[in-house]
């Protein structure tokens, strides 16, 4: 019987994802020689090479590609067993690893953290902010317990729970405040500033404006909503931002905010987790707490 450890599988997964031993060692918080030794021991136990190595990067061998699929399944199952034990020990969560996308995190997290820690004072809360595709990847790898994202994510392995809907609002230079709010067709012809590629909010805005993501957009993309709003204030163009971002992003910018007419652009914010998670009942409670936190947000409380 071939013997290898879960630790070796985790190191193998890290190298497979990073394509580099040094970066993989950093993500695993160990030295590169120690990680290399564990991978070498795993390959020796298997009697087969998992990686092709050169000076700049490593890549999986054909066997390594097949092994990666099974290894990830084993790691997910191991994490599910751990979650099941955590859930059985106590109804109170002792640790929660939660991911949040950048167009939600700065605006909703303070209230979310307050609600969760009030309900679970002893919780060890770990927060990860990154884009949706990375959060889904890390959920699947067992590195996160849940994530707050825009729905749908359409991953069969994940449970999706809708939390609330919010509108996208138009941000334009302050001197345009008295002008009629453009309709969808007019907006699609304007100089629309968007988040850079990879952000789901960019795709939602493009979809609303019936614009293709492949259109040339030199100089019209930003890395954050803050940058976009400041660019609008400087007179470069207009942008759409989520309703929850308005109080923070517009307070120091020379801009005007307007609600779009029908059909109102909006997104559904929800929470997702692995369908096999042993913490499902506790995560349902966390979803309820996040929904309650959103209800206290100044932008939503100010709705007519």
pLDDT digits (tens, 9 = 90+) for 248-264: 999 989 999 999 888 78
Please state the φ and ψ torsions of residue 165, each to the nearest 5 degrees. -105, 150
pTM above threshold 0.85: no
Please state the φ and ψ torsions of residue 246, each to the nearest 5 degrees. -60, -50
Please state the φ and ψ torsions of residue 220, each to the nearest 5 degrees. -110, 10
In the chain the domains, ranked by start, together with CATH numbers, are: 6-86 (1.10.10.10), 92-157+271-301 (3.40.190.10), 165-266 (3.40.190.10)
Check: CB of residue 272 under 8 Å from CB of residue 97. Answer: no
Residue 205 or 43, more confident: 43
Residues 6+ apart with CB under 8 A from 297: 107, 108, 111, 244
Place of tokens 């809708």: 162
Q: Which helix (H) or strand (E) holds 124?
A: strand 124-129
pLDDT tens column, 54-101: 777 789 999 999 999 999 888 888 877 776 666 655 555 788 999 999
Distance of CA 244 to the CA centre of its chain: 17
Q: What tokens appear for 59 in the block?
A: 């890549």
Query: Helix 280-295 crosses helix 62-89 at what angle (to 10 degrees)?
Result: 80
Which candidate, 125, 76, 107, places its Cα nearest to that of 293? 107
């Amino acid at each position: 019987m071939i013997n290898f450890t879960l630790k070796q599988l985790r190191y193998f997964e890290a190298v497979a994802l990073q394509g580099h031993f040094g970066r993989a060692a950093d993500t695993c918080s160990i030295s590169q020689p120690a990680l290399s030794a564990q991978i070498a021991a795993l390959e020796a136990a298997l009697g087969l090479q998992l990686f092709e190595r050169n000076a700049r990067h490593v890549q999986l061998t054909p066997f390594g590609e097949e092994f990666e699929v099974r290894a990830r399944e084993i790691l997910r199952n191991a994490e599910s067993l751990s979650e099941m034990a955590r859930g059985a020990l106590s109804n109170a969560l002792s640790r929660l690893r939660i991911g949040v996308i950048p167009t939600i995190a700065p605006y909703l997290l303070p209230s979310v953290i307050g609600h969760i820690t009030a309900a679970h004072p002893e919780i060890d809360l770990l927060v990860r902010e990154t884009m949706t595709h990375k959060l889904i990847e890390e959920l699947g790898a067992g590195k996160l317990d849940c994530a707050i994202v825009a729905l749908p994510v359409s991953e069969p392995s994940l449970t999706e729970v809708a939390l609330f809907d919010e509108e996208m609002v138009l941000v334009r230079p302050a001197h345009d405040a008295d002008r009629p709010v453009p309709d969808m067709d007019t907006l699609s012809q304007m100089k629309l500033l968007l988040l850079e590629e990879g952000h789901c909010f960019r795709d939602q805005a493009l979809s609303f404006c019936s614009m293709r993501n492949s259109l040339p957009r030199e100089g019209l993309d930003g890395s954050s909503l803050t940058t976009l709003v400041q660019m609008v204030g400087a007179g470069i163009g207009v942008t759409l931002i989520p309703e929850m971002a308005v109080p923070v992003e517009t307070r120091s910018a020379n801009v005007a905010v307007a609600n779009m007419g029908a059909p109102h652009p909006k997104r559904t914010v929800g929470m997702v987790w692995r369908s096999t998670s042993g913490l499902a009942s506790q995560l349902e409670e966390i979803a309820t707490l996040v929904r309650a936190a959103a209800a206290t947000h100044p932008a939503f409380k100010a709705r007519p």
